[in-house]
A and B are shown apart, each in its own frame.
Chain A
Amino acid sequence: MAVLRAVALLLLAPLVQGLIQNIKARLQGRRGPSPLQPYFTLAKLWRRQDVRPAASSFLFVLAPRLALGLVLAAACAVPLFGGAPLGNAGDFVVVLGLLALERFVTGLGGLDQGTPFGGLGASRQAVVGALVEPAFFALALPFAARSGGTAWPGLMAASLQTPAAGAVRLFALAAGLIVLLAETGRLPVDNPDTHLELTMIHEAVALEYAGPQLALLSLAQMGKQLLAVAVAADLLLPWGATGPAGAAAAVGKWLALAATLAVAESLSAKLRFLRLPSYLGAAAALASAAAVLQVWGVR
């Protein structure tokens, strides 16, 4: 069942991406593409020819497939649509580990291209990933400290016990917004719509891919985006997760978070790379402060 939910998440991911693009376009004064556009793009890519650079090895070909498989596996480790993760052995640390492995594999695929842009993407993605990792963990810290572990039932129970509008929740929500923007590769960390290679972070590793492989890689990135949103929703907005309308509540929360991301992205300009540690450090500090408040409050 958890596998089916994970596949459903992957199928829903392009719709969420299309929704974000649509909202951004409307905020820019345009009508924008239909929210279903990413599906058509994926279908178009599927029909095209595969290309690979002359100097590449099997890693170039393996990276998009493994990335998709890892996002699927990570999605099985998260409670989705109000259900439980696979075998009740899902864990927050496992999700972070699988996403880090996905970053590793796509980074190697980027370096395999033998171009400066592939290496540029791999290098910048590694730095952003290294800074996002503690910030993402810190996001779960208030609830993990309260429950004494990182298993999902404990985390969600601790989140339900935390006051809905208290300082802990507000700090965690602020940190969560920053972490989501960084993990999904949106402004102010990275510009997902840029065509200038020197300003790319996540898109540069995908530069040499075309056709079906690009479709797989794009689907993996969209799936990762929705997965990060789902994790944040489970941690920070746990109400209505279990119960009869769990699935509808979950989708509603995801759409609301996606809309928030689109608005937050439209309101910010791209940060200088030098400022990234301050930005993500602020997220980690906010979340740690929430954790400290949580620990003091419980004592």
Chain B
Amino acid sequence: MSALLVLVLALIAFGAAAACGALLRPRLSAAASLLGSAALGALGAAGMAGARLRAALPLGLPPFALAWRLDALSGFFLLLLAVVGAAVAVYGYGYLAHAEPWKARSVSTFLPLFLAAMALVLLAEDAVAFLLAWESMSLASYALVMTDGERDEVVRSGFVYLVMTHIGGLCLLAAFLLLAGATGSLDFAVWAAAAPHVAPALRSAVFLLLLLGFGGKAALVPLHVWLPRAHPVAPSHVSGLMSGVMLKIAVYGLVLFSFRLLGPGPFWWGAAVLAAGVCSAVLGVLYAVVERDFKRLLAYSSVENIGIVAIGLGAALLGRSQGLVAVATVALVAALFHAAGHALYKTALFLTAGSLQHAGAGRDLDCMGGLLRRLPWTGAALLAAAPAIAGLPPFSGFVGEWLAYQSLLRLAHLGTTGTALLAFAGILGLALAGGLAAGTFIKAAGVGLLGRPRSAGAAQASEVGASMRLPPLLLVGAGLALGLAPGVLASPLASLAAGVLGGEAPGLGVRSAVLLALPWPGVRLAPALWPALAAAGALAAVAALALGRAARPAPAVRAPWGCGGTLAVQSQYSATVYAKPFRQVFGSVYRPVRALEVQSAVHPFFRTRVLYQGEITLVFERFLYAPAVSGLMALAAIARRLQSGSLRLYLGYMLAALVLLLAFAR
């Protein structure tokens, strides 16, 4: 019962925050959002620790009583939402302090509503409750994306986002209606019991619709096109919340349905999710590495990380379809662990992007540089978050990828030959995505923070306020702690996964917080060991140098080597040039298009102007969405012929429809 009280307290807090935001009291609004997030965090922790809640709120007619429940899976995602929501609430207070009043009011009103809607999606136990909360989440996020709605770019991006989210919502609605028709109820508990006995063809159709719906929201390729448009134009902390948490809500939906509610499925379910994951991981990071807009780079990187989570989910589904429950458990833990890490790091990165924009350095990496000196705190957060999100040790992303590799290899070892081939594809895709992600974030952190300022905005940037400095650092610090002591999260996740899959907990990470031991013999990871050794080695190198320091002068500061001349600021490597080898090497994916125009006076030797334009082709927009949209417009043009404007013709249509219905309604 107390869990219900905490939930109601959280919802009241968010409502109060929205009201304070509407009344232009930003400090109260931030405090109320923080309180609501803390309540959700307590709820989530209680859920993961074993508290169970099930409540039904009668709303309107008795068949539509809305059911809510709390369990370990929703508790985990509630905890993620709480941590990220708290950071975003604190950040938003400083971010909006100098914004126009109506924009500050709009964001402060809709942000708590967004948080509340996401919490309700996680707690819904009923199709109606789920869809109501899902739709509220979509609409609240649309309102947040459209904050700067006076710009055309924002309106177009918001429109694409709205259309894609409603296509997904329609797929979800269709799936829910199919299941409701087959099982005769809208309650998830009834579906969990009855859905495994529904006809396989219907279950597969439902799975496909759910994959389209949740995959579209989670931005799996090819349904990802809204993400790189919506995230750069939204306020930065909103983008962080969307990338960090909203995508994970879609992952939650996928896990809930494919593992708990639909029951064991055939081979192709796991194969489809794994294939979608590999494509998303590789294509997402390929588009990120050539991007010069920092926030769009982060958006494509989110596509990549969701792909990695999908690889883990696909491996878990494959494992379960072949009865390998231990492998499926570890794969699910890998997916959820990686999702948690990504939520922390991506939010931190978007917050630092917002700080950079707020400080005057803009969004374009080619105009940044030298910011580590001018913005030490924000720069430190970006510098720490960059290897974290690339999946490098000692952060938690590496542990998540390690778990994914181990589960895929075990799947290849124990599964059928087809499963082994899929697992190999998953492993190679994961390795390629990891390597490319490292390259991407060397660019983002290096070009953005290091060297000399490439523009006036970067040269005059100044550090942001305390409420904007601290949240990214705290989020990355939490991720580092999680990477050094992964057992703290991996242990509860293992029992969660075992509960979802229906086996007993395989004892993952039970040994200690700092040593991960998998349920099959001989495979262990001590993540705290290696950074400690590296630090020791580095210190030894420092000591060795310092020993000779007494007899030698300090490092001399000299101008860098410029082939004998002085180097201009523009001759530094920029983000576009950095990406050139990638564009060359992966040219068949990018299909780059170049236009070069040279203008000259009097004689071609005397050039006055050189115009260079280069862009990559966005494959899905050009070959999938553009034909679909033009086909739809052609159909609409044909259908417009039915709208002649004549009232008699319309009455004739109604008569014909009536006659047809009467003829066929027997």
Contacts and interface: CB of A to CB of B under 8 A. Distances in A.
Interface stretch (B95-103, B227-235, B560-568): B560-568
Given A53-B560, A108-B450, A276-B585, A296 B417 contact: yes
B294 interface: no
A100 interface: yes
A65 B542 contact: yes
Given A54-B558, A86-B529, A151-B522, A145 B412 contact: yes
A58 to B, nearest CB: 9
Contact of A65 (B447, B518, B541): B541
Interface stretch (B175-183, B186-194, B403-411, B592-600): B403-411
B625 interface: no
A122 B446 contact: yes
B349 to A, nearest CB: 16
Contacts of A120: 573
Interface string A274-288: 101100000010001
Interface string A197-213: 10000000001100010
A145 B409 contact: yes
B557 interface: yes
A197 B560 CA distance: 14
Interface string A53-71: 1111101011011101111
A165 to B, nearest CB: 24
Which residue, B373, B435, B447, B554, has most C-beta atoms of chain A within 10 A? B435
Contacts of A73: 530-531, 533-534, 537
Interface string B524-554: 1110011101111111111001001000111
A107 B540 CA distance: 22
A70 B443 CA distance: 21
A114 B435 contact: no
A131 B585 contact: yes
Contacts of B572: 114-116, 119
A109 B272 CA distance: 41
Contacts, number: 283
B390 interface: yes
Contact of A97 (B392, B518, B582): B392
Interface of B is mostly: helix
Interface stretch (A12-20, A43-51, A186-194, A233-241): A43-51
B522 A101 contact: no
Given A91-B402, A108-B445, A55 B534 contact: no
Interface in B425-483: 427-428, 431-432, 434-436, 438-439, 441-443, 445-447, 450-452
Contacts of A86: 529, 533
A111 B435 contact: no
Interface residues of A, number: 94
A76 B442 CA distance: 26
B555 interface: yes
A94 interface: yes
B424 interface: yes
A91 B409 CA distance: 13
B8 interface: no
A104 interface: yes
Interface string A108-149: 101111111111101110110111111011100100111111
B655 interface: no
B420 interface: yes
Contacts of A104: 387, 390, 392, 438, 441-442
B559 A54 contact: yes
B586 interface: yes
A295 B557 contact: no
A122 B441 CA distance: 12
Nearest to A146: B413
Contacts of B536: 69, 72
Contacts of A146: 413
B515 interface: yes
A98 interface: yes
Given A55-B451, A100-B438, A291 B424 contact: yes
Contacts of B431: 96, 133-134, 136-138
Interface string A78-89: 000000001111
A77 interface: yes
Given A53-B559, A73-B537, A149 B435 contact: no
6 contacts: A3-B533, A69-B541, A130-B435, A145-B413, A145-B424, A149-B406
Given A49-B555, A126-B442, 18 more contacts: A52-B555, A54-B558, A57-B372, A72-B537, A86-B529, A107-B446, A108-B442, A108-B445, A112-B450, A129-B438, A137-B431, A149-B409, A150-B405, A208-B560, A273-B585, A274-B587, A292-B424, A295-B420
